[in-house]
Each structure stands twice: as structure tokens, then as C-alpha cells.
């Protein structure tokens, strides 16, 4: 019985690992020009480049990115993080650029 339970757990673990891997592969294989969404890391608190006004993320960098992406048919998604983490996030491929 104990052995059977262990086997089930091992199988479960393998399945979970496999799902994890396939997800990673999927997101990695999709290039930026296929995904058409620019992921931007920003602290959202550096006036006048990126900051919140009436609950909305605004600023010179934000306006520039939004307009450039609008012109080339891309959406923009933001990930709010401390400024010290931005370069690491881009380098690790978790975001495409920073503002």
C-alpha cells in the first residue's frame, strides 16, 4: 500500500514537472513579433517618466511606449517592480523592456 502511494506521488510529481516544462517551452517559443504584446517592467513611481495619476499609469516613458506600440500594432502590458529588479527581469526574459 505504502509502495503504491509512493508510486502515485512520483507519477504526480512527474506530471506536474512535465506540465511546468511544457508551459515554459510554449512561452519561450513565441517570439515578440508573434505575441504582439510588449511586456514592460516599471516602478510606476518616477515622475515624470512613469507614475500614477488618478489610479492610472502615466508619464513620458509610458506615453512614448504606448504610442510607438500603437503605431506598430502591439499591445503593452506592465509589470510593476522595484527599479533595481528591472534589468534582471529583462535579462531573464520575464519582461521585454523597462520604463
Binding span for another protein by CB under 8 A among 3-11, 20-28, 67-75, 76-84: 67-75
| Contact predicate 89/98, CB 8 Å | yes
Number of neighbours of residue 47 by Cβ within 10 angstroms: 11
What are the distances in angstroms from CA 84 to CA 32, 50, 66, 94?
24, 15, 23, 15
Does 54 help bind another protein (rule: CB under 8 A)?
A: no
Binding span for another protein by CB under 8 A among 3-11, 18-26, 66-74, 75-83: 66-74
Number of neighbours of residue 89 by Cβ within 10 angstroms: 18
Does 17 help bind another protein (rule: CB under 8 A)?
A: no
Nine cell digits for residue 19: 506540465
Does 65 help bind another protein (rule: CB under 8 A)?
A: yes
Among 2, 5, 29, 72, binds another protein (CB under 8 A): 72
Does 50 help bind another protein (rule: CB under 8 A)?
A: no
Amino acid at each position: 500500500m505504502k509502495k503504491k502511494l509512493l508510486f502515485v506521488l512520483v507519477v504526480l510529481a512527474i506530471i506536474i514537472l512535465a506540465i511546468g516544462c511544457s508551459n515554459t517551452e510554449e512561452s519561450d517559443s513565441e517570439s515578440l513579433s508573434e505575441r504582439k504584446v510588449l511586456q514592460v517592467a516599471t516602478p510606476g513611481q518616477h515622475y515624470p517618466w512613469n507614475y500614477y495619476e488618478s489610479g492610472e499609469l502615466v508619464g513620458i516613458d509610458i506615453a512614448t511606449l504606448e504610442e510607438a506600440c500603437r503605431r506598430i500594432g502591439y499591445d503593452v502590458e506592465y509589470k510593476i517592480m522595484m527599479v533595481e529588479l528591472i534589468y534582471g527581469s529583462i535579462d531573464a526574459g520575464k519582461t521585454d523592456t523597462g520604463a
